[in-house]
Amino acid sequence: MFTSVATSPLNIDASDFVQVIEAASNVLETERQTGHIIGGKIMGGVAELRTPENLIIIGDIHGDFKSLFNVLQDITFEEFLLNPYNKIIFLGDYVDRGSDSVGVLYSICYLKQKFPNSIILMRGNHEAPLEFPFSSHDLPFKIIEHYGKNLGKWIYNEKVLTFFRLLILSTVIKNQLLIVHGGLPTDVTGLAEDFRNPIAAAHENHIDNRIMEEILWNDPWKGTHTQDWSYSERGIGRLFGINISKKWLRICGTKAVVRGHQPCQGFKIDHDGMIMTLFSCREAYPNSKAAYLSISNKQLHSIHNAIDLSQYVIKIS
């Protein structure tokens, strides 16, 4: 019996925590095996959707359960999610930095197993700690604090990491939006024929190419129009230029890119309206603001770029 996300998951016991992560992982595995989700299809790490009846996009959460709960309350989530043609897309970075990574992780898994066709869970760089190690990954320690050293290590290594590897790398809403966590890969050689295949297999091939690293870690660059990319101060990933954005939107046949990964004042626009950054965390970034995107089918069809999209961004109080 799962605890509802509407009640505080701070004190969730280990058996429920494991059970809900396993249930969400099973749903994600089934989606990959069947290639099916209502209103779209799954191909490895790529989700392709027809335009949802209503769409919510939530950016980085980073253990900020309060902000997540405020969004879910704001949209009356249980009623919203009962319609499988409504979608909530999470952009990743559910954990680390905030005070309740365990509660946030439990909550998104609960939502996925209860409303499997209405939830898209994407992978952020904080959900790839083995492939691309970084110093601020405190989730293992938070789990050990909750459940003790031996049990906590087992939950993290055997259950949580398995769940992370099943998350989506890129979501495409046909003719509308290209959605990633971080940014756009800078090498577009050979992608004109079908961009889906290399992204779908990016997890398996991340040692051989940079696609997964750049999707999870890249940021938009305000550099020149003549240079496609530059090195990132993060020490991993790259800065991608405006020409890369143009190429990807043309390849995918979409109007705008929505991504997370960078703290901002709820959202920001880059690359002449091609890129929207959306951020939904307040706790760990007190100088930033938090927001989410809420848009209907009709409204989504009316937009031309990310500037148009910005009128549907809602700030989190």
What band does 208 get if pLDDT is binned at 50, 70 and 90? low
pLDDT 10s digits, 80-127: 999 999 999 999 999 999 999 999 999 999 999 999 999 999 999 999
Q: Residue range 177-184: average pLDDT?
A: 98
pLDDT computed for residue 223 by the predictor: 75
The residue written with tokens 């997540």 in the block is 68
Given this model, what pLDDT does residue 1 score? 36
Q: Does residue 311 surpass a pLDDT of 80?
A: yes
Q: How confident is residue 2, by pLDDT bands cut at 50, 70 and 90? A: very low
Q: Which pLDDT band, with edges at 50, 70 and 90, does 78 fall under?
A: very high
| CATH annotation of 9-315 | 3.60.21.10
Instruction: Compute the average pLDDT of residues 59-70.
Output: 97
pLDDT, mean over the chain:
93
Calculate mean pLDDT across residues 147-174. Answer: 97
Instruction: Enumerate the domain spans of the chain.
Output: 9-315
Percent of the chain with pLDDT over 70: 94
* DSSP E strands, the chain: 36-37, 40-43, 46-49, 54-58, 86-90, 119-121, 170-173, 177-180, 219-220, 229-231, 238-240, 256-259, 267-270, 275-278, 291-296, 313-315
Contacts of 210 (CB under 8 A, 6+ apart): 185, 186, 187, 238
Give the range among 3-7, 227-231, 268-272 with minimum mean pLDDT: 3-7
Q: Once rounded to an integer, what is the mean pLDDT over residues 32-38?
A: 97
Model confidence band, residue 191 (pLDDT cutoffs 50, 70, 90): low
The reported pLDDT for the residue numbered 204 is 77
86-to-152, 218, 300 alpha-carbon distances in Å = 35, 29, 13
Is residue 313's pLDDT more than 50? yes
Across the range 5-32, mean pLDDT stands at 87
Residue 46 CA to residue 204 CA, distance in Å, equals: 13
- Tell me what the mean pLDDT of segment 159-182 comes to: 97
Least confident of 20-24, 73-77, 196-200, 257-261: 196-200
More confident residue, 233 or 209: 233
User: Tokens at residue 21, please?
Assistant: 């992560």
Q: How confident is the model at residue 195 (pLDDT cuts 50, 70, 90)?
A: confident
Helices 65-74 and 101-114 meet at what angle, rounded to 10?
30
Percent of the chain with pLDDT over 90: 87
- pLDDT at residue 317 greater than cutoff 50: yes
